[in-house]
Amino acid sequence: MSTSKEVDDKKQPGFVLGAEVDESASLDTITALVAEDHQHEIQLRTMSWQKTAVLLAGDQVCLAIMAQSWSLSVLGWVPGIITMILAGALFWITSITMHKLIMKHPQIKDICDFGYYAFGQSKWAFYFSAFMLLANNIILIGFHVLTGAKVLNTLSDHSLCTAVFSGIVTIMGIVMSAPRTLRHVSFMSMFSSACMGIAILLFLIFAGIEKAPLYGYNGNYPSDGPVRTYAFPLPGTTWVACMNAVLNITFLWVPQILFPTFIAEMERPQDFPKALAVLAGISAILFIVPPAIGFRYLGQYATAPAFGSLGVTAYKKASFGFVIVPTLIIGVIYANVTAKFIYNQVLGRSRHSHSNTLIGWGVWGLIMIGIWLIAFIFSEVVPSMGDFLSLLGAAFDSFFGFIFFAVAYWQLYRGRLFDGLSRTIMTLINVFVMIVGLFMLGPGLYAAVEAIIADYAGSTTPAFTCANLSI
């Protein structure tokens, strides 16, 4: 199938229109897309499933893992572990649904194209997805700028203003975001995963050998009594706290906003489930085991991230210091996906988009600088990025983790949703996926906003502050 026939006659940026294709025809389309891409000077569709797995791991093996002990301290063992397992199961189901729709429409380049097809080739769905992509990713990059500043504050004993550290992280992010292909970013992801793995391992060792944690949100040890764990939330735990703990868990399990862009740069997109299986195996271990061990040793003193509960300063620095690498590289991954979407709207159909031209690289550089500078501003003006992560989980992950894929499932199987027992079961599961998404968007969003209001009502960190943000 000629790829030129997939382009709308109106040549509207971002839209790839055309008749629906069956599964066998999609393989011909993939072959044509890869062949066309390999004729260019800058080739994008070059990643193997192994490199994709490394890229996925680089994105998912992140600091958010170290916030899960706090989630367990709010929810307790039973609701916490159940939420983690359920989130993992839904992650696998929704990701497979995503892949199936992309295989039906292999010309999909990003989550915006995915939304366009999932909602019946709706332009409004494309524009809505575009807004959500930009808002979600840029705020997340801002979170990583702030995290990088926290790491530098902690390691240097606050030797400079936090705003200066944030500026340093922003400049480093811009420089590291220079590569235009995810194949090069995948190489950096290996170091990201390794460093985060070392940070987690060191934390577990230090938490185990310490007599007791030092700090908790309810006071320093032992002001809240001896360390203890519990099966269910402690008396007095608010619904808002429980909901934010759930959002914290689901946020970790919802990276699908990036997946269409990853798949679009694979040489064999049909192999994506192999990379996904590797990620699911890694996630099942890292998203549950370290947080559970952390909760075991920190109990009600668990903080987010858990490094903050360590009592010995050397322990805290030794483990938290390694986080600077994944903080930067994960920011680079989100910046690359975000820049590619903007870049495709600006130069997507010109030779500059796939050639080493001055205009091509100049536009790429300006877009990347703009993304990181806006993210820097977000990192400085938001009073509590932790609460805003809950807001992201409710406002964005409700769509990109659940609602989009329930709708995509309906698009894939409409007219035969109840054909046989297995299809009926999967249909009911996807009804549940939709309910979860709507619950996050409704009560979940309310809880996140309530937490932000509480932060504004209390003492907030001023914008562009020099205050010490060490953990």
Q: Give the DSSP letter string of 85-116.
A: HHHHHHHHHHHHHHHHHHHHSTT--SHHHHHH
Give residue 275's Cα distance to chain centre: 16
Rounded-to-10 torsion of CA 313, 318, 324, 330: -110
Domain annotation covers residue 413: yes
Reported as half-sphere exposure (CB side, CA atoms, 13 A), residue 236 has a value of 2
Give yes or no for a contact between 185 and 54, defined as CB atoms under 8 angstroms apart.
Answer: no
Domain annotation covers residue 464: no
Q: What separation in angstroms does the CA of 207 have from each of 72, 210, 292, 303?
A: 16, 5, 12, 13
Q: SS3 for 355?
A: coil
The CATH number of residue 237's host domain is 1.10.4160.10
CA distance 32 to 7: 14
First to last CA, the chain: 56
Domain annotation covers residue 446: yes
222: preceding bond cis by omega (within 30 degrees): yes
Number of domains observed in the structure of the chain: 1
Q: Check residue 267 and report its DSSP letter.
A: S
For 199-212, what is each residue's pLDDT tens digit?
999 999 999 999 88
For 403-455, what is each residue's pLDDT tens digit?
999 999 999 999 999 999 999 999 999 999 999 999 999 988 888 888 777 77
Domain annotation covers residue 28: no
Q: Give the DSSP letter string of 368-431.
A: HHHHHHHHHHHHHH-S-HHHHHHHHHHHTHHIIIIIHHHHHHHHHHTT-TTSSHHHHHHHHHHH
Domain annotation covers residue 23: no
Quick one: pLDDT at residue 330? 96
Quick one: pLDDT at residue 16? 34
Nearest to 298 by CA among 61, 44, 71, 6: 71
Residue-range definition of the domain harbouring residue 252:
44-457
Quick one: pLDDT at residue 23? 62
Q: What are phi and psi of 235, to 5 degrees?
A: -55, 135
Q: What are phi and psi of 231, to 5 degrees?
A: -80, -35
Quick one: pLDDT at residue 463? 65
Domain annotation covers residue 17: no
Token readout for 224 is 């809240």
Domain annotation covers residue 37: no
Q: What is the pTM of this model?
A: 0.91
Quick one: pLDDT at residue 460? 60
Domain annotation covers residue 6: no
Quick one: pLDDT at residue 104? 93
pLDDT, one tens digit for every residue, the chain (471 residues): 333 333 343 333 333 333 344 566 788 889 899 999 899 888 989 999 999 999 999 999 999 999 999 999 999 999 999 999 999 999 999 999 999 999 999 999 999 999 999 999 999 999 999 999 999 999 999 999 999 999 999 999 888 888 899 999 999 999 999 999 998 899 899 999 999 999 999 999 999 999 889 888 888 889 989 999 999 999 999 988 898 899 889 988 998 999 999 999 999 999 999 999 999 999 999 999 999 999 999 999 999 899 999 989 999 999 999 999 999 999 999 999 999 999 999 987 788 888 889 999 999 999 999 999 999 998 887 756 666 677 777 889 899 999 999 999 999 999 999 999 999 999 999 999 999 999 999 988 888 888 777 777 766 666 677 877 888
